[in-house]
Amino acid sequence: MQTSLNQQENSQNLKKLFTYLLESCSEEGFWKDSDTGWAPIMTTICCELFFNAGATLNDKWYVLSNGISKELSFKNCVQFLNDSINADGSFGSDLWDATRLGKLIVSKKLKTHFSNYSKLQKYIISSFESNNFSAGDTNWVGPGFYACGIDYFDLEGLNELSNSTLLKLLSLQQVEGHWMHTPQTKKSIHYSVWHTAQTIITLKRKSSETYGAAIQKASKWLIDNQEDSTGSWAGINEYEIYFTSYAVLALAHSEYQDAINDAVSFLHANIKDTGQCVDKGGTLMCALAYWELFNNNLKPQLSLMDCLLTTINSKSIKYLEDKVKNKSEGVVYVITIKKKHIEIVLGVIAVLAFVIVLYDHFKPSDEVKTIPQKVDSVKVIQPVVAPTKDSLTTDSSKVKTAIKGTLIHK
């Protein structure tokens, strides 16, 4: 199974995924699916993705909702994340969520924007030192937590803790090459894709040369467990998108291009015209995979975020401009109609005035006069002048005065 997608199609998919995510952010600055408990971690990863794509803390964008333009800002997102750190330093649904937030804060130099960071840091360090991952949701607990911890400790310069965690992680690799989900259940094979992919990513970042054998063995395990018919990595419901995206992230820029192409074809088939990929979480993971694979296809003059925010904001501006234009046209139309009415009324008044003048001039006299036999002189009758439209007003008294002023003088 080979992908037939070209560079343009992949770039378009990448933009659609990003646009959908930007437009689905809440006014409070977070992303969530049906499970609201995932809002903190989804927001964390969304911010990381957008910052990697060139967004800044001061960036704003405007999204139309029910005909109303709402302003969104990454500052609001950061504020939501800071407020979501609990009093004991925990965050999200488990330790992995907390550690991912720690990575975001340190890697993007956001400590000054997180007044609760010290509590978060203390919680992460104490949990790894005591090897206590039991707090919160334990469904995802496994080697992937160690991989995330190593990334965070390296960013913070906590070398001793990073090295000890790395030794634990390496010791957990299975003979087949993967890192196994714990505790083991019927879902283990699916979750093991998630843990194995994360470990490969961390080991590659540390040193592909030093940990090459472990990486190769784990990558081979991923390839062996890819679905031949679909190109995906099996999962439960929407997790098929999650695990496939993580596997792509792990295998990216490797010799396994055929497997990557098959996976991309699977992801592409699940991306709707709106940019949604199953759900918001699936869209986010798909966007991460596409960004890793295809961000180099974009034109370098502007960052992806610059392009997308400009496009989204221009759509809102055009909507508002059209709305104002429609209202203005309505006002102009009403004014035009009213002006027309006034012209008609004035015209009618002018005609009536002229008729009255003629009537007064030609009406029969009540007196019977004898026609003279001889005309001694001729009296000049002044011509009848009808009132002009400009000389008339809608005031009845002024109209009467105007009419009287046009009577014939004998």
Specify whether 223 is located in the same domain as 357: no
Specify whether 345 is located in the same domain as 203: no
CATH number at residue 75: 1.50.10.20
- What is the pLDDT at residue 334? 33
Domain membership of residue 324 (yes or no) is no
Q: What is the pLDDT of residues 76-124, one digit of tens each?
A: 999 999 999 999 999 999 999 999 999 999 999 999 999 999 999 999 9
Per the structure block, which two tokens stand in for 108?
A: 């993007």
Residue holding tokens 């401009």?
321
- C-alpha dihedral sign at 11, 12, 17, 21: positive
Give 152's contacts (C-beta < 8 A, 6+ positions apart).
99, 102, 103, 106, 124
Residues 130-134 have a mean pLDDT of: 85
Specify whether 211 is located in the same domain as 345: no
Q: What is the pLDDT of residues 244-298, one digit of tens each?
A: 999 999 999 999 999 999 999 999 999 999 999 999 999 999 999 999 999 887 6
Domain membership of residue 322 (yes or no) is no
Domain membership of residue 64 (yes or no) is yes
Instruction: Say whether pLDDT at 304 is over 80.
Output: no
Domain membership of residue 96 (yes or no) is yes
Choice between 395 and 299, residue whose per-residue pLDDT is larger: 299
Instruction: Say whether pLDDT at 372 is over 50.
Output: no
Q: b/e for 105-124, b at 16 or more Cβ within 10 A?
A: bbebebeeebebbebbbebb
Specify whether 348 is located in the same domain as 282: no
Domain membership of residue 370 (yes or no) is no
Report whether 120 contacts 153 (CB < 8 A).
Answer: no
CA distance 63 to 197: 35
Domain membership of residue 258 (yes or no) is yes
CA distance 101 to 103: 5
Report whether 9 contacts 299 (CB < 8 A).
Answer: no
Specify whether 127 is located in the same domain as 262: yes
To the nearest whole percent, how much of the chain has pLDDT over 90?
Answer: 58
Specify whether 277 is located in the same domain as 339: no
Residue holding tokens 């820029």?
253
Domain membership of residue 144 (yes or no) is yes
User: Where a domain ends, among 317, 338, 353?
Assistant: 317
Report whether 144 contacts 181 (CB < 8 A).
Answer: no
Distance of CA 268 to the CA centre of its chain: 20
CA distance 261 to 254: 12
Radius of gyration of the chain (CA): 39
Residues 40-54 have a mean pLDDT of: 96
Q: How many CA atoms lie within 13 A of 217 on its CB side?
A: 14
Asked which of 5-9, 115-119, 145-149, 172-176 is least confident by mean pLDDT, the reply is: 5-9
- Domain containing 394: what range? 329-364+376-410
Domain membership of residue 166 (yes or no) is yes
Beta strands, E only, 49-195: 60-65, 68-73
Specify whether 11 is located in the same domain as 150: yes
Specify whether 18 is located in the same domain as 108: yes
Give 7's contacts (C-beta < 8 A, 6+ positions apart).
294, 297
Per the structure block, which two tokens stand in for 200?
A: 């490969």
CA distance 185 to 89: 30
How would DSSP label each residue in 327-347? Answer: HHHHHHHHHHHHHHHHHHHHH
Q: Which residue type does 4 have?
A: S
pTM of the model: 0.75
Choice between 11 and 86, residue whose per-residue pLDDT is larger: 86
Instruction: Say whether pLDDT at 133 is over 80.
Output: yes
CA distance 160 to 146: 14
Choice between 223 and 374, residue whose per-residue pLDDT is larger: 223
Report whether 357 contacts 400 (CB < 8 A).
Answer: no
DSSP state of 140: T
Specify whether 285 is located in the same domain as 350: no
Report whether 114 contacts 105 (CB < 8 A).
Answer: yes
Specify whether 68 is located in the same domain as 105: yes
Asked which of 219-228, 265-274, 300-309 is least confident by mean pLDDT, the reply is: 300-309
- What is the pLDDT at residue 347? 57
Which of 190, 191, 129, 189 is closest to 161 using CA atoms? 129
Asked which of 26-35, 260-269, 371-380 is least confident by mean pLDDT, the reply is: 371-380
User: Where a domain ends, among 317, 338, 356?
Assistant: 317
Give 108's contacts (C-beta < 8 A, 6+ positions apart).
47, 48, 51
What residue spans of 84-142 are helical by DSSP H? 95-107, 117-129
Cα–Cα distance list, 296 to 53, 202, 252, 290, 307 (Å): 11, 22, 13, 10, 15
Q: How many domains does the chain have?
A: 2
Specify whether 156 is located in the same domain as 287: yes
Phi-psi region of 185 (alpha: psi -120 to 50; beta: other; left: phi over 0): beta
- What is the pLDDT at residue 308? 79
Specify whether 289 is located in the same domain as 393: no
